[in-house]
Every structure is written in C-alpha cells, then in structure tokens.
Amino acid sequence: MKRVLSVCAIAVVCLVMAMPVKAQLQFGVKGGVNLSSMSFGNIKGNFTGDNMTGFYIGPMADLTVPLIGIGLDAALMYSQRGDITGQTEDGTSITLKQRGLEIPINLKYTIGLGSLFGIYFAAGPDFFFNFASGTDMFKKEKTQVGLNLGAGVKLIRHLQVGFNYQIPMGNSFNVGDAVNAAFSKSKTKTWQISLAYMF
C-alpha cells in the first residue's frame, strides 16, 4: 500500500510541475455497474460469488493537458459491490453486501482525434471504505486498496464511456474462527462499466 501511495504521489507532483496554464479542468458526474467476483479458499462449494452485480455513482474531476494528452482524474463515489450468498457447514445462511465510499485516482493518457473524440488509457490506485464491518463470522476489511487498469472514449467534450478492472491489493473479508479455522480470507475482483458527464 505504501508503494502504491508513493508512486501515485510522485506522479501527481510531476504532473503538476509540468502542467501548463492551458490545462483543462472539468467537473462532472460518474456512474456505472460493478461486476464483481470473490475468491474463497475452502468454501467455494458452499458459496456463490461470481458475477455479483452492484453500482456506483458520484462526482468526479478530470484534469488534462491538451497538447501532450496526460492528465489526472479522481472521483468520490457511493459504491455497492454485490452480494455474497451461501451456507456455512452448520447450515447457517449468509448474505453480505459491500457498500461504501470509493475513491479512484487515475493517471490518464488521452489520444485526441479532434475535439469531438478521444481514446484514453488510465491506471492508478483505488481506495474503498466499508460502511459496515460485517458479521462475527465474516468481517469486512474497513479499508481496501486496489489497482485500477482501464480504457475508454471521450465524446463531444462532455461524455466519457469506459471500462475498468480493479485488482485487489489485500483481502476484502476475514473469515472468523466461529465458522471454521480452515476457511481462507477472500478477495474481491471487479470489472466496472462507467458513463460520465462532464460539465
């Protein structure tokens, strides 16, 4: 986590130092769909965690240097990462949802094909803060850090359509001894489809 934060901080400092006065700053609203899957060690047979659907929405900012195409975007979003459903070995039914505050910060490179169309590639850290701690058996990590890799298109200066893949840098849930000490921790991997409108 410290390495990710250090690389992000260095990238932001370098970008700000090299940024000309003509940099374009836009604000907008971003929303989309989360398609998540969770990996459980020894409880795959009891739990289903593939293609869990959730959503996210919130304000965003996009800063771009037009001549060189390098920029930075960040968002502050409410995010739901889907359900985990299943039964423990003693027959107890469990349904969990991850709901929280998501803050992605991406370094973005845009290839402009005029003012009406552009293709971008993005990468950077993603921070997720859970609103709830989970249950005694399945405890949610309060803070989760992931790595974003994404691409998309910019249309008519105001629309951005993209897709993103989040690689978890740590665990999403810890399975307590109340279930079974052999059960492993879990990770959430998420595909995101997004639509943003910039003012």
Q: What is the pLDDT along the chain (199 residues), one digit of tens a residue?
A: 555 555 455 555 554 554 444 678 999 999 999 998 876 655 545 555 556 889 999 999 999 887 788 999 999 999 998 666 655 556 666 666 789 999 999 999 999 876 689 999 999 999 999 987 666 566 777 889 999 999 999 998 899 999 999 998 887 776 654 444 444 567 788 999 999 999 9
Q: Cα 1 to the chain's mean position, in Å?
A: 15
d(CA 175, CA 85): 14
d(CA 112, CA 153): 10
Q: Which CATH architecture has domain 2-198?
A: Beta Barrel (2.40)
Residue-level pLDDT at 32: 97
Residue-level pLDDT at 63: 92
Q: Are strands 187-198 and 24-39 parallel, antiparallel or unpaired?
A: antiparallel
